[in-house]
Structure 1
Amino acid sequence: MTNTPLTDTVENRLFPYSPITERPRIDWPGGARIAAYIGLNVEHFLIDRPSTSIWQGTADLVPDALNYGWRDYGSRVGVWRTIDSLDRHGIRASVLLNSAVAHHNPQIIEAGLSRNWAWLAHGRTNSILQAGMSLDEERRFLTDVVDTIAAATGRRPRGWMGPGLTETFHTPSLLAELGLGYLLDWTNDDQPYPLNVPGMISVPYSVELNDLLLFGKGVTGPEFVQIVKDQYEQLRADSQDSGRVMALALHPFVIGQPFRARYLDQALAYLAAQPDIWLTTSDEIAAHYRRTVTPGRPAA
């Protein structure tokens, strides 16, 4: 077999390479070394489309009672158990919100409004991805998503995460047109960083410290708690010269299962007890980064 040179490669023009050792210094409020947030996925799924599945054997059936029911548990039961845990530890969620939830599950939005959650746009439904949309199709799609969330929550979202972390090459600039200032889709860093689209930054999210991926690989509850601790402790060690971000991604149909509730409680209790943590929202992390980090400021 011969290797044929690639002649039509696409360059990454969304963001430049920036080693974490060569950045402006980040100082979080109150001298905290870690800015942490809970990314709570509040999603809607279509009954006649395949999506995230616990067992692929029925994923192509219509209806797929097994997998649809598993996902639907999150909005019917799991999210309320997760809310109780967040409340016990005084933690505001950063909610990755499918706009269809405004119509199908308005009680969840009411609960979040009473708790001053941060609302991020997360597409219309996690059964439909925007990859492959034309520019005009995506502009209409994003406008509808943002306007729907703004009407339901009383404020326009500031941040974005695509369903399944999907984008097109136009997504950041279209979001900037709509007044959004950051996105979570590029899980490639422990700090915020500027994108090449003016006014748009990336804020860290995690596909590793993520209940859907961890428990899907067979991680146990006690192991999950230890992983959260290990993530925090390593990021704290890394933060001697500049602050870091820790994102804990949760899905109510996963973490909201009864046998996992105590382990989420333990993980949140651990985070809430740390003296060097700023337990906040992704909105506040993005805003603080914009206010305080300027090009050319030394890293140490």
Structure 2
Amino acid sequence: MRLRTLALLLAALLAPASACAQSGPDWITGLPRQDIAVASWPGGKKVAVVFVLYVEVWGQGQGPNFRPDMTSRKPDLVDEGFRQYAINFGLPRAGRLFQEMGVPLSLALNAQFPTAQPQTWKTLRALVPQAPILAHGLNNSTDLLPLAEGPAAQRAYIRKTLDMIEAATGVRAMGWSSPSVYPDAETFAATAAEGIRYTLDGMDSDLLSRLDTRPAPLVLIPYPPSVVDMGQYLSRFKEASDLERLWIDYVGEMAREAKADPGRPATIVAIGLHPFVIGTPAGAAAMRRVLEALKGMDQVWLADTEAVMRAAGQPF
């Protein structure tokens, strides 16, 4: 009996990673949530990697600070210059890089950006004209989701965001990423009610999943906080070369796991990029090496958000 018990315990410990996939009530919203079964991505690949470039409005005196010790200065030319450089030079440089490397890119767009920075938006869009646009709220500092005002206010905010983006770009966004990464449990249902079909607000998985929202389900594309460049750069003081190693190791280990267990479900990671980091010359150089490395991994599919939805058979 003891031997049989030990054998069962050992079998559980050595069970394939695919057995860890779970479905049930979502821990944030309480709504039913199911993993989406994807055996493999196009070309038999087992790991999808989606790069999302954040195109954001911060406003004067708002936003990330390169030198927090200087924020009391009026004017704070150092931090304003840091932010403006990212807009004027960082975004076009990032667009050129992905165009030159032939790698798909998705854009998370603040609705106010095309009007606030028309020339930069025109330049960026010309570089990546096929990049899907995800709605990213109105701006990233002073006009965030009205979380304290209830679901109706959130729906109105989301609708306004979608309308403004469509008016400026001609695209009715079907994807969502909450501004300043600040949704709440009601945001998921509110986005779905306004026609959003997939979101990056789910940050807890390696697998696509489906949230049972109404009138249609909402797909959660995994967006783990540990791989977002700006948090690593500004809060954890990592340089672009550190992120290069992080991203290659992160995706490389997912590819190794897939090769070791071919029967496991196909996995996915969305990686958030910001022009403050990969839009500098050093950041672009590191990003180029990352893309070269990922292209060489036989298990990896480089995709955009809409290609992922199509490959997974999800309507949008």
TM-score tier by shorter-chain length is 0.7 to 0.9
1:235 is matched by which residue type in structure 2? M
Task: Check if 1:53 corresponds to 2:72.
Answer: no
* Contact residue 155 and residue 194 of structure 2 kept, 8 A: no
Seen in structure 2, the aligned counterparts of structure 1 residues 63 and 166 have a Cα distance that, compared at 3 Å, is farther
Aligned pairs for 1:256-295 within 5 A? 256-291=279-314
Aligned pairs for 1:168-187 within 5 A? 168-187=184-203
Helix, strand or coil: the match of 1:86? helix
* Residue of structure 2 equivalent to 1:149: 165
Q: Report the Cα offset of residue 16 of structure 1.
A: 5.1
Seen in structure 2, the aligned counterparts of structure 1 residues 270 and 54 have a Cα distance that, compared at 3 Å, is same
Task: Check if 1:200 corresponds to 2:218.
Answer: yes
Unaligned runs of 5+ in 2: 1-26
Aligned-pair identity in percent equals 24
1:53 is matched by which residue type in structure 2? N
* Contact residue 99 and residue 121 of structure 1 kept, 8 A: yes
Seen in structure 2, the aligned counterparts of structure 1 residues 64 and 126 have a Cα distance that, compared at 3 Å, is farther
Which is bigger in relative contact order (C-alpha 8 A, separation at least 6)? 1
CA distance in 2, matches of 1:210, 1:132: 27
Seen in structure 2, the aligned counterparts of structure 1 residues 196 and 67 have a Cα distance that, compared at 3 Å, is farther
* Residue of structure 1 equivalent to 2:249: 230
Q: 2:131 aligns with which of 117, 120, 124?
A: 117
Give TM-score scaled by structure 2 length: 0.80
CA distance in 1, matches of 2:40, 2:31: 23
Task: Check if 1:242 corresponds to 2:265.
Answer: yes
CA distance in 2, matches of 1:87, 1:44: 23
Helix, strand or coil: the match of 1:194? strand
Q: 2:55 aligns with which of 42, 48, 71?
A: 42
Runs of 4+ in 1 over 6 A off after TM superposition: none
Q: Compare CA radii of gyration and give the structure with the larger one.
A: 2
Task: Check if 1:96 corresponds to 2:96.
Answer: no
Q: Report the Cα offset of residue 31 of structure 1.
A: 0.4
| Worse overlay, 215-224 or 196-205 | 215-224
Unaligned runs of 5+ in 1: 1-10, 293-300
Q: Report the Cα offset of residue 251 of structure 1.
A: 0.3
2:59 is matched by which residue type in structure 1? L
* Contact residue 232 and residue 238 of structure 2 kept, 8 A: yes
CA distance in 2, matches of 1:186, 1:168: 11
1:123 is matched by which residue type in structure 2? G
Q: Report the Cα offset of residue 13 of structure 1.
A: 3.0
CA distance in 1, matches of 2:201, 2:29: 15
CA distance in 2, matches of 1:63, 1:144: 32
Alpha-carbon RMSD across the aligned residues, in angstroms, is: 2.4
Helix, strand or coil: the match of 2:268? strand
* Contact residue 158 and residue 179 of structure 1 kept, 8 A: yes
CA distance in 2, matches of 1:212, 1:80: 18
* Residue of structure 2 equivalent to 1:163: 179
Give TM-score scaled by structure 1 length: 0.83
Helix, strand or coil: the match of 1:191? coil
Q: Report the Cα offset of residue 286 of structure 1.
A: 2.6
* Contact residue 47 and residue 64 of structure 1 kept, 8 A: no
* Contact residue 192 and residue 286 of structure 1 kept, 8 A: no
Helix, strand or coil: the match of 1:208? helix
